[in-house]
Amino acid sequence: MNKRYHLTALNAFVDNYIWMLSDYSKQTIIIDPGDSEPVIDCLQQHHIRPQVILLTHHHQDHIGGVSHLFKHYPSLRIYGPLEVCHKLNGIPITPVHHNQSIAIDNNLTFQVIATPGHTLGHVSYYSKPYLFCGDTLFSAGCGRIFEGTSKQMLESLTLLASLDDSTQICCAHEYTVNNLRFAHHVLPEDNLIAKKLEEAKQIRLNKQMTLPSQLSLEKKINIFLRCTDEILQSKLNIYDTLSLFTTLRKLKDNFQ
């Protein structure tokens, strides 16, 4: 991607991030605007023109601001999976599908990647080096499985892990510290996980964000991406990749 683009994350609700990718001409792409207020404030303050909205899935904390934004900016182009189209009746949304290319302009194109698991229709958007992955892949973790299956989620994570190591993980929630706490609980002897946990705690104490993370790092500290790792398999005495992932997800669901 051309370096003409600037990445911004807006805080929303308790721990959501709304991502914006803007170019030198003050046009921007908005990803998962669950709340319109911080988006409109940012647009007006910096004199930015919203061009496109990309939606990853149908949960309200990801789509709640779309209607209000569309009323303010009726020329917006909006893309999302079919599950989003069903939720936002009356809003002109272009449905997307796996491997589709979305050309924003002559310099920016996104690849749509189907990533079911958290929801059945969840998608992610990739334009090197940025991956907007909603609630599928988090730093040091992955999303809860509400509608899909463990097999679907594992396949989605494996697909995302196959992207370039330089990929920037722009997920939708600030869950890094808790995810690293869980990883450290499972693998207390892993020095890198322990180190990154302390770093993430300090970052949050300083009221800064831990994102985006880089895929090359995630492959080392995200145990949900390490289900073929012999050390992790031996630790839990589970040698089947899917069974290991399923067990880890269940353990994380109950981790305090």
Q: Is 184 annotated as a binding residue?
A: no
Q: Which residues of 141-157 are buried (b: 16+ CB within 10 A; e: fewer)?
A: bbbebeebebebbbbbb
Joined together, the tokens standing for residue 176 give 């890094």
Joined tokens for residue 9: 């994350």
* 57 annotated as a binding-site residue: yes
Q: Is 97 marked as a binding-site residue? A: no
DSSP label at 8?
E
Sign of dihedral through CA atoms 32, 38, 44, 45? Answer: negative
In sequence order, what are the beta bridge partners of 2? none
Q: CA-CA distance, 231 to 250, in Å (whole number)?
A: 19
d(CA 141, CA 179): 5
| Cα–Cα distance for residue pair 172/178, rounded to 1 Å | 15
Residue 173 labeled ligand binder: yes
What tokens does 227 get? 């289900």
Q: What is the dihedral of CA 244, 220, 200, 38, to 10 degrees?
A: -80
| Binding-site positions for Zn(2+) | 57, 59, 61-62, 118, 135, 173
Residues annotated in the binding site, as ranges?
57, 59, 61-62, 118, 135, 173
